[in-house]
Structure 1
Amino acid sequence: GHYDHTGGLPFLTGKKLICHPAALEPKHRKSDGSWNGIPIPASDIRKLFSVTETREPVWLSSSVVFLGEIPRLTSFESTTTAFVNDEGLDDFIPDDSGVAILSSEGLIVISGCAHAGICNIVKHAIKVTGEENVHAVMGGFHLKEDNEVTRETIHCLKDMQVSHVYPSHCTAMEARMAFAREWESPIITSGSVINLPPPMIEPD
């Protein structure tokens, strides 16, 4: 429910919107109290969209699933937060989620900002889909430097035998370079093209 992931909503009105209930709650930066939430009031969103608020996974098709609320399982992810709610209490962004796609070559996991931790997201995607072969993980990893947390994340994804890793939004260049070295993959920027295998299609 942060502004940098929802700025396009005014151009998509009338559509079905699936989100965690906390996505529509007020959000602020801890540092100065400035607004960090969706740029449209929650009351207007409920009028402009067909809204489904859920903490549970939702299958959008036979091969694509919204992952719902991500369990925080790892010891090194989601340990601090830079955000608070209206009451000034720490907001660990429970609405942070992702999408998983069952492809012809394995699971593809797409994150938004990975406030829940990218390893937690991948683990949950495996549990929800039942597919342990992870072809690709891509999106924001919320890693700000090449530090111990980044190294733990790399080790975790390696343990899960993830074939391809493409960190982007909210991942510092130093961290991106660390992933690129480990997976011998290109560094992804705006305008990059990633060729992925097609989703699995159930026979008629």
Structure 2
Amino acid sequence: MKKAGTDGMKLRVLVDNNTYIDRYYLGEPAVSYYIECDGIRLLFDAGYSDVFLKNAEALGIDLGLVTHMVFSHGHNDHTRGLKFMKERLELSGMEVIAHPSCFDEKVFGEESIGAPYSAADMAGICRYRPCGGPCNISERLVFLGEIPDAVDFETRKAIGRTRIRGKWQDDYVRDDSALVYRGEEGIFIITGCSHSGICNIVQYAQAVCGQQRVLGIIGGFHLFEADERLVRTIDYLKCCGAEQIYPCHCVSLRAKARMMEALNVKEVGVGMELCLDGQAAH
């Protein structure tokens, strides 16, 4: 597997629902990726528990050297691990990028499903950088900010409720975003859950980056049923020429099986490494 070095991006899966045979790492229904690119070390989401810390140690990754953290959205299977990281590491110098609503309270019924800290807490823990729109993290990494609703079959559904400026309302997860690597020959998209719609994300990433070629996509797509939305999603990804698809976390086996009939689908598991040299994923 090619090393990314200074002219590409390297991504390592620290947390996923899936683990590989004969690779003894820990899994949980959550997301965390370690990324090196343009001289920075970035953590994309922090999972639900301290599993990402344990897996990083087993993989020989020193999270004490992380310079940036990006949160895809505020649900606890992506943010709760932060409190375990805070207990073990000094985070005051780390820049944290997220949508401004990421750290608002979130509940599902009576259960809290949001982040362990508020935005005010984050300002005292790290160098917190809320981004409602696209923002550059490095020369080739861009955080998309809020994703516009553009694709007609990706209707947002409320997931519990959220408290915004003191008022409780249905939560359409407007804080859901994604990270994009801008290579010389195309873009590679990194998602958490894609509550905003994976096709909306792809379309917005293409517009923000000014590039149409999609080298690949990794992350949760929030697809569970073999329904019309899945069929239209597959058609969209096929038409946009997405070259490698790494569906994981919140994608059901049935959805993956249907995707495999039409797309170049790859398996994801804890410890998986992706290297991009600006032209393709290896």
TM beyond 0.5: yes
Distance in 1, matches of 2:225 and 2:267, equals 15
Q: Is the 8 A contact 1:141 1:167 kept in 2?
A: yes
Q: Does 1:95 align with 2:168?
A: no
Distance in 2, matches of 1:152 and 1:192, equals 31
**AA aligned opposite 1:25:** D
Distance in 2, matches of 1:199 and 1:17, equals 25
Residues 86-128 of structure 1: CA distance to partner in whole angstroms, max 9, x if unpaired? Answer: 3442111111000010124421001111000000001111011
Q: Does 1:84 align with 2:151?
A: no
Q: Does 1:39 align with 2:116?
A: yes
Distance in 2, matches of 1:99 and 1:142, equals 17
Q: Does 1:17 align with 2:91?
A: no
Distance in 1, matches of 2:104 and 2:252, equals 27
Q: Does 1:193 align with 2:272?
A: yes
Give the SS at the match of 2:115.
coil
Give the SS at the match of 1:109.
strand
Give the SS at the match of 2:189.
strand
Give the SS at the match of 1:195.
strand
Correspondence for 2:132 = 55
Residues 29-67 of structure 1: CA distance to partner in whole angstroms, max 9, x if unpaired? Answer: 1xx231110022433222101111121111111111011
Q: Is the 8 A contact 1:150 1:175 kept in 2?
A: yes
Correspondence for 1:5 = 78
Residues 121-154 of structure 1: CA distance to partner in whole angstroms, max 9, x if unpaired? Answer: 0111101110111110110100112211111111
Name stretches of at least 5 consecutive residues in structure 2 with no aligned partner: 1-73
TM-score w.r.t. length of structure 2: 0.65
Change (3 A) 1:45 1:144: same
Q: Is the 8 A contact 2:195 2:222 kept in 1?
A: yes
TM-score w.r.t. length of structure 1: 0.89
For residue 198 of structure 2, the aligned residue among 108, 112, 118 is: 118
Q: Is the 8 A contact 1:111 1:138 kept in 2?
A: yes
**AA aligned opposite 1:176:** K
Cα drift, residue 198 of structure 1: 2.3
Correspondence for 1:65 = 142
Distance in 1, matches of 2:194 and 2:259, equals 16
Higher strand share: 2
Distance in 2, matches of 1:27 and 1:138, equals 25
Q: Is the 8 A contact 1:176 1:187 kept in 2?
A: no
Q: Is the 8 A contact 1:118 1:141 kept in 2?
A: yes
Correspondence for 2:212 = 132
Correspondence for 2:187 = 107
Higher helix share: 1
Name stretches of at least 5 consecutive residues in structure 1 with no aligned partner: none
Give the SS at the match of 1:127.
helix
Correspondence for 2:30 = none
Correspondence for 1:159 = 239
For residue 172 of structure 1, the aligned residue among 249, 252, 255 is: 252
Q: Is the 8 A contact 1:60 1:66 kept in 2?
A: yes
